[in-house]
Copies of this chain bind each other. A is one copy, B any other.
Amino acid sequence: MMNLVNVGIIGSTGYAGQQLVWLLLNHPHVNIDFLSSNSYVDIEYSDIYMNYSGLLDKKCISNSAAMERIPDLDILFCAMPHGKSMDIVKKAFESGVKVIDLSADFRLDDPAVYSNWYGLEHSCSDLLKSAVYGLPELYRDSIKTAAIVANPGCYPTSCILGLAPVLKSGTFEKSTLIIDSKSGLSGAGRSCEVSKLYVESFESTRAYKIASHRHTPEIQQELSRLSGFKADVLFTPHIVPMSRGILSTCYVKLSDDTDSKTLVDLYRKFYYGEHFVTVLDSLPDTKWVRGSNFCHIGIGYDNSTRTAVIVSAIDNIMRGAASQAVQNMNILAGIDEKCAIDHPPMFP
């Protein structure tokens, strides 16, 4: 019989953290050593998230107490905001404990790009070379032996999965890649802001941070790797009134007369054998991936402008954060990659 993987979660009370707890409680090969929090120290987790009433008898410990317990872990999940992960990840690294970091701190190869977009210096840039970008479909082999897995951002996950096959194929023009993404409100976290109130959100669709969202360099880095040259990305995030889900609509000018059918074949070939990516015959809908690790991709094509319109849908808290983190944990721990994240999307 398999030993349980002993894990801790730092930053367990945000939306991604909570979803991690949900998945790991259902995981047959995991023991949760601790849940830590900044704001809820010594509070019963089931008083913060009452879906665990009667099911989870665990208080949040402080992040500093969590730091002490890192050496006892097999794997650490760090679900802190950017800028807050570096010291924690460093501690884990030095203790020989593998880390899956859900922040942006270890996603960008170039610390100059990081400080440029995030407005602060990277305090342990020497560790960046030990970090692997945790998108399993692209980096599965490197993840297996990584010391640090930088779990991708929610928008980047949807954009990169959506664009990887066509960018890898080389059959597109080197013009601007326009990515128009729509996200549910959980992507903005659990902190209180007037604009996130029900009353302010329910009939509200809006764009924000045009050409200045911090996920842009992450998308750019990965798309450039795929295409082999520096990709010009124009990324526009939007908030739409739903709780979960991201839909990314990606516009790519093709270099030849590739039609829609050829594109679908290209995508199917690229993702052949990939359980968690489904190339549809139709267009995706966030509702059909809700609560799951699946990514649905649909392909449109405009003949008159020779532009492919690739649409990808994920659940931002799952594939965009928690379930992808568990997928990475499974890979790291040598467990079946699908373990505990294989349920179909939950509808409605």
A241 lies within 8 A of chain B by Cβ = yes
A178-212 residues with Cβ-Cβ distance < 8 A to B are: 178, 180, 182, 184-186, 190, 192-194, 196-208, 210-211
Contact indicator A347/B211 (Cβ below 8 Å): no
Contact indicator B197/A286 (Cβ below 8 Å): no
Contact indicator A240/B192 (Cβ below 8 Å): no
Residue of B nearest to A54 (CB): B278
Contact indicator B178/A25 (Cβ below 8 Å): no
Quick one: given A207-B311, A309-B236, are A50 and B346 in contact (CB under 8 Å)?
no
Contact indicator B249/A288 (Cβ below 8 Å): no
Contact indicator A285/B176 (Cβ below 8 Å): no
Give chain B residues whose Cβ lies under 8 Å from the Cβ of A190.
Answer: 194, 197, 199
Q: Identify the stretch in A87-95, A143-151, A295-303 within 8 Å (CB) of chain B at 4 or more residues.
A: A295-303
A232 lies within 8 A of chain B by Cβ = yes
Contact indicator A184/B207 (Cβ below 8 Å): no
A278-298 residues with Cβ-Cβ distance < 8 A to B are: 278, 280, 282-292, 294, 296, 298
Contact indicator A206/B346 (Cβ below 8 Å): no
Give chain B residues whose Cβ lies under 8 Å from the Cβ of A236.
Answer: 180, 249, 300, 309
A252-305 residues with Cβ-Cβ distance < 8 A to B are: 253, 278, 280, 282-292, 294, 296, 298, 300-305
A243 lies within 8 A of chain B by Cβ = yes
Residue of B nearest to A300 (CB): B210
CA A65 to CA B286, docked complex, whole Å:
34
Quick one: given A53-B288, A184-B203, A197-B185, are A251 and B238 in contact (CB under 8 Å)?
no
A36 lies within 8 A of chain B by Cβ = no
A118 lies within 8 A of chain B by Cβ = no
A333 lies within 8 A of chain B by Cβ = no
Residue of B nearest to A49 (CB): B347
Interface residues on A, range: 35 or more
CA A234 to CA B203, docked complex, whole Å:
26
Quick one: given A182-B238, A185-B197, are A205 and B305 in contact (CB under 8 Å)?
no
CA A247 to CA B253, docked complex, whole Å:
24
Quick one: given A240-B205, A242-B202, A300-B211, are A176 and B287 in contact (CB under 8 Å)?
no
Query: 11 interchain pairs (CB within 8 A)?
Result: A51-B287, A53-B296, A180-B249, A185-B197, A192-B197, A197-B198, A204-B287, A206-B247, A234-B305, A243-B348, A244-B348
Residues of A within 8 A of B (CB): 15, 18, 22, 25-26, 49-56, 175-176, 178, 180, 182, 184-186, 190, 192-194, 196-208, 210-211, 232, 234, 236, 238, 240-245, 247, 249, 251, 253, 278, 280, 282-292, 294, 296, 298, 300-305, 307, 309, 311, 313, 343-348
- 10 shortest interchain CB distances as A-B pairs: A210-B300, A211-B302, A192-B192, A51-B345, A206-B285, A204-B287, A198-B201, A50-B288, A54-B278, A180-B180
